[in-house]
Amino acid sequence: MTGGSEHDKCQKQSDHFHAASYAFDTRAIHHAFSPVDYKRAVQPPVFLTSTYGFESVEANDAAAALGGRLYAREYNPTTEILEQRLANLEGAEAGLVVSTGMAAFGTLILSLLSQGDELLVHKTLYSNTVAMVEQGLPRFGIKVVSVDLSDPSNLDAAITEKTKLVYFETPVNPLSSILDIAAISERAHAHRVKVAVDSTFASPALQRPIEHGADIVLHSLTKYINGHGDTLGGALLGDAETLHRLHETGLRYITGATLAPHSAFLIMRGLKTLSLRIDRHSASALAIARTLEAHPA
Ligand SMILES: *Cc1c(COP(=O)(O)O)cnc(C)c1O
């Protein structure tokens, strides 16, 4: 490779954006997208297509072996950029985006757990996640064990041979209490059980659970990550093997809850200002808290 052409230069530049040496905000704007791959457009195109052409039966079989790339429930170039960008920001190997945060939870649980398995959760969860664990999962023979994980040692008594996953939010919706990701993960891993953290209330600008030992991160993209109140979305980030399973089982044939490519475009636009918005949210929240603390009532 001579490195002399315009393409090579741009390609090198885009490779740089994959490097962890770039800071968070630069990666939030540029990771996994090279203008040179898309006629030098600076914004990712929205690929509104339901299916893809292929050159030969052999090429199709080879692509299918990598995971479905023929049909837009399984593959879309616009949503793929968002998946890679979010995975990068969370320090995960791979990512999957789906239509809502609840679709992410459904994809996660229905892909990894079966009848007879147990799910261990923190006692407080987002209201619709509560509905899923109390009303939904028992209908399918999945037992949900609810414990107070503010004391991580409570996990030891609640975990059994049937426990397949530990799931909690931090900060917890709605009261924003904080759970100790590292302490909970250490105890779960001692029992060879994976840990998934709903990090929606923090966003990767404030907290990256994988850096603290968690295996999988869930986001409602509807909230801070998109940040403009104009679309729903959900994401799962984690190791490549688990994400392959979530993609090939959960998204492809259990939920089918694909994120619309236009929503992926909007979420990428929102993501660019995540840090700026979180700084303001945090400053405002602190000002309100100080005012309330000093208020006689
Ligand atoms: C909103 C929310 C969800 C669900 O996300 P939707 O995109 O609304 O489906 C899950 N977890 C938490 C913590 C939330 O706040």
Going by C-alpha positions, the residue among 210, 252, 254, 216 that lies closest to residue 235 is 216
Tokens of residue 98, six digits: 């789906």
Mean pLDDT of 82-94: 98
CATH number, domain at 207?
3.40.640.10
Going by C-alpha positions, the residue among 203, 211, 245 that lies closest to residue 96 is 245
Lowest mean pLDDT among 61-65, 94-98, 186-190, 255-259: 61-65
Cα 80 to Cα 101: distance, rounded to the nearest angstrom:
17
Residue 2 has pLDDT above 80, yes or no: no
In a domain, 222, yes or no: yes
Q: How far is the CA of 138 from the centre of ligand 1 (A)?
A: 21
Cα 224 to Cα 80: distance, rounded to the nearest angstrom:
20
Residue-level pLDDT at 225: 98
Q: Note the pLDDT tens digit of each residue in 89-138.
A: 999 999 999 999 999 999 999 999 999 999 999 999 999 999 999 999 99
Indicate the average pLDDT of the chain.
Answer: 92
pLDDT range class, residue 3, cuts 50, 70, 90 = very low
Pocket test for ligand 1, best of 200, 221, 231, 259 (most atoms within 8 A of CB): 200
In this structure, which residue's CA is closest to atom 8 in ligand 1? 101
In a domain, 189, yes or no: yes
Tokens of residue 5, six digits: 């052409």
Number of domains in the chain: 1
The helix (run of H) or strand (run of E) holding residue 204 is: none
In this structure, which residue's CA is closest to atom 6 in ligand 1? 101
Ligand 1 pocket residues where CB is under 6 Å = 100-102, 126, 129, 169, 173, 198, 200-201, 220, 222-223, 232, 234
89 close to 114: Cβ distance less than 8 angstroms: no
Exposed/middle/buried for 120, CB within 10 Å: 0-12, 13-18, 19+?
buried
- Indicate yes or no: pTM above 0.85: yes
Could you tell me the residue range of the domain that residue 129 belongs to? 86-275
Mean pLDDT of 45-53: 94
Buried b (16+ CB within 10 A) or exposed e, 220-245: bbbbbbbbeeebbbbbbbbeeebbee
* 2 vs 79, more confident: 79
Residue-level pLDDT at 69: 79
Residue 48 CB contacts under 8 Å (≥ 6 apart), including other chains: 261, 262
Helix, strand, coil shares of the chain as percentages rounded to 5?
45, 15, 40
In a domain, 7, yes or no: no
Residue-level pLDDT at 56: 86
**Bond prior to 174 in cis (omega within 30° of 0):** yes
Cα dihedral sign, 143-147-149-151: negative
Find the Cα–Cα–Cα–Cα dihedral 278, 282, 285, 286, rounded to 10°: -170
Residue-level pLDDT at 168: 98
Q: How far is the CA of 212 from the centre of ligand 1 (A)?
A: 22
Q: Note the pLDDT tens digit of each residue in 213-230.
A: 999 999 999 999 999 999
Mean pLDDT of 241-268: 96
Cα 294 to Cα 278: distance, rounded to the nearest angstrom:
24
Cα 186 to Cα 192: distance, rounded to the nearest angstrom:
10
